[in-house]
Amino acid sequence: MNLKFRAKDYLSDDSFESAEYEYIGNQKDGWEIKRNGSSYLKLGPGYIPLKTISCGVCSTDIDRRFLPFPLPQIIGHEVLAEGLEENKGKQFVVEINDTYEARGDKNPDVFCLEGIPTHSPERRVLGIDRLPGGFGPYILAPIHAAINLEGVSPKAAVLMEPFAAALQAIIASPPKSGDHVAVLGPRRLGSLVLAALSSYRKTNGSNFRITAITRHDHLVVLSKEMGADEVIDLRITNISDISNQFDIVYDTTSTASGFESALQISKREVHLKTTNGQSMAGLEHLTELVVDELSILPYSTQNTNFHWQKENRTNKKVFVFDGVSESIKADLRSKFQVFEGDQTKGESYLTSEHFTNQMPRFDFVVVSNTSEIGQTIRPNPTHENSLVRPRGAILIDTSNTENWPSDFRLVSEFFKNGKEIHSSRCGDFHMAISLLRDNPEITNSLETHLISHRFPSDQLELAYSKAKDPSSVKVVVDFQ
């Protein structure tokens, strides 16, 4: 097959530029993607061509220039598409991770074997990392990432990727019975987190209270429609007045000020759902923290056993920075295989015989200060590999936080008080589809209230600009 078309590339200066693309190949033999006549990307077998119907504009799209992936690129990853050739007439939503498992490769890597295929270092990401995205008229989707729509209307289907991502936050940080949880910034993703919380609560018969926190009139109304029990308007209420009031705060603001507010109002946990690629509250690499779905926890014996609820594994190999207290090191040596040093030493261990034929990551890392958090997440600027395994934890020795610089006082107090930061990104489309089927009133709310603006594909720049406007909620680009 040969598909030739023009699309608008996103550039590092936050602008768009028209380019000519060509997809040459087939599912069995693989594909070559050409851009302006030159080879852009070569793909092996396992991809099917799809024609874009519509694509939502996400906060990640708006902040795409800050992410550590090459540009220019056709961005857009919230895709509803239709099949070509033997799939003609079928509609698909597309999971964004291009992995061994998604392509049906019979020789998976260790990340697939460990049950975390979406964290494989070799993955590409639709509309984010190399693989051309949904703001073009055609995409190439890994065969198992293209999910046939069943029982969900096309209006709601274009929201499937962000809804699944929102639901992942609830799966990773589920409210307990009697909890009072808050969604900070209930706009695009935040409204979907509210909907996910509401549908999760109903489907599971759970008992917790949901509060939305915003400062915009239209979001006050929208939050109630999406399932919030109450709404706090920050034009009326000061953040200091709600300090330590919420068991879990799901921060969807993608701003430094929002993150700092989340730290203040949480009494147990902040779940960081989206970031802007920049330092927040003095912490570096928080975007990468979310990409890797990592957690930051105060050191405790209980937290040395941390893993995601559905993972069946035991922590064995840990890395400890030199500045961590001797008492913690002694405690760890009695239970784990402990490696010590700085981030350079940590990287050298991961390429040694200690990790032959194993996942080249530590099960958790213990740090003594905030700079070591960033060094753990991305120890080397030449690649995107962390010292700690995806969905693993960074534990903080809080015994000497009084020596941290004053700029980190908010963070030091947060961890000193035993609070935690968790994160998540992509979710399970099948689970999201099932939850929407079980909760038609939530589906109706999504269809009726969440999409605030639609633009034809030849007005992509206008759609992108409108998505930056606080008066909008979800902007969708239509190709048909």
In the numeric block, which tokens belong to residue 308? Answer: 């995601």
Residue 187 is predicted with a pLDDT of 87
Mean pLDDT score, 260-281: 90
Q: Using CA atoms, how far apart are residues 211 and 249, in angstroms rounded to an integer?
A: 9
**For the segment 324-361, what is each residue's pLDDT rounded down to a tens digit?**
999 999 999 999 999 999 999 999 999 999 999 899 99
**For the segment 129-147, what is each residue's pLDDT rounded down to a tens digit?**
999 999 999 999 999 999 9
Is residue 381 reached through a cis peptide bond, with omega within 30 degrees of 0 on the bond before it?
A: no
Residue 309 is predicted with a pLDDT of 85
pLDDT level of residue 46 (50, 70, 90 thresholds): very high
CA 333 → CA 15, 106, 307, 330, 372, distances in Å? Answer: 52, 39, 19, 5, 20
Residue 188 is predicted with a pLDDT of 85
Topology alike, domains 2-153+452-470 and 159-273+424-450: no
SS (H, E, C) the chain: CEEEEEEEEECCCCCEEEEEEEEEEECCCEEEEEECCEEEEEECCCEEEEEEEEEEECHHHHCHHHCCCCCCECCCCEEEEEECHHHECCEEEECCEECHHHHCCCCCCHHHHCCCHHHCCCCEECCCECCCCCCCCEEEEECCCEEECCCCCHHHHCCHHHHHHHHHHHHHCCCCCCCEEEEECCCHHHHHHHHHHHHHHHHHCCCCEEEEEECCHHHHHHHHHCCCCEEEECCCCCHHHHCCCEEEEEECCCCHHHHHHHHHHEEEEEEECCCCCCCECCECCHHHHHHCCCEEEECCCHHHHCCCCCCCCCCCEEEEECCCCHHHHHHHHCCCEEEEECHHHHHHHHCCHHHCCCCCCEEEEEECCHHHHHHHHCCCCCCCCCCEEEEEEEEECHHHHHHCCHHHHHHHHHHHCCCEEEECCCCCHHHHHHHHHHCHHHHHHHHHHHEEEEEEHHHHHHHHHHHHCCCCCEEEEECC
**Is 3.90.180.10 the CATH classification of the domain at 2-153+452-470?**
yes
**For the segment 358-415, what is each residue's pLDDT rounded down to a tens digit?**
999 999 999 999 899 999 999 999 888 999 999 999 999 998 877 777 778 889 899 9
Sign of CA dihedral 94, 285, 184, 59: negative
Mean pLDDT score, 240-254: 96
Residue 334 is predicted with a pLDDT of 94
Q: Using CA atoms, how far apart are residues 233 and 131, in angstroms rounded to an integer?
A: 40
CA dihedral 419, 425, 426, 432 (to 10 degrees): 40
The percent of residues in the chain predicted with pLDDT above 70, rounded, is: 99
Q: Using CA atoms, how far apart are residues 248 and 37, in angstroms rounded to an integer?
A: 51
Q: Using CA atoms, how far apart are residues 296 and 420, in angstroms rounded to an integer?
A: 6
Mean pLDDT score, 191-210: 94
pLDDT level of residue 1 (50, 70, 90 thresholds): very high
**For the segment 141-167, what is each residue's pLDDT rounded down to a tens digit?**
999 999 988 777 888 889 999 999 999
CA 420 → CA 166, 205, 246, distances in Å? Answer: 19, 26, 13
Residue 444 is predicted with a pLDDT of 87
**For the segment 283-324, what is each residue's pLDDT rounded down to a tens digit?**
899 989 999 999 999 999 999 999 998 888 899 999 999 999
Residue 436 is predicted with a pLDDT of 86
In terms of pLDDT, which residue wins out, 435 or 337? 337
Instruction: Report yes or no: 225 and 449 within 8 Å, Cβ to Cβ.
Output: yes
In the numeric block, which tokens belong to residue 142? Answer: 């890994």
Q: Which amino acid is at 230?
A: E
159-273+424-450: CATH number? 3.40.50.720
Instruction: Report yes or no: 441 and 465 within 8 Å, Cβ to Cβ.
Output: no
pLDDT level of residue 445 (50, 70, 90 thresholds): confident
* Residue 47 scores a pLDDT above 80: yes
Where are the domains positioned within the chain?
Answer: 2-153+452-470, 159-273+424-450, 282-406
**For the segment 54-113, what is each residue's pLDDT rounded down to a tens digit?**
999 998 899 899 888 999 999 999 999 999 988 898 999 999 999 999 999 988 999 998
Strand partners, 235: none
Mean pLDDT of the chain: 93
Residue 149 is predicted with a pLDDT of 80
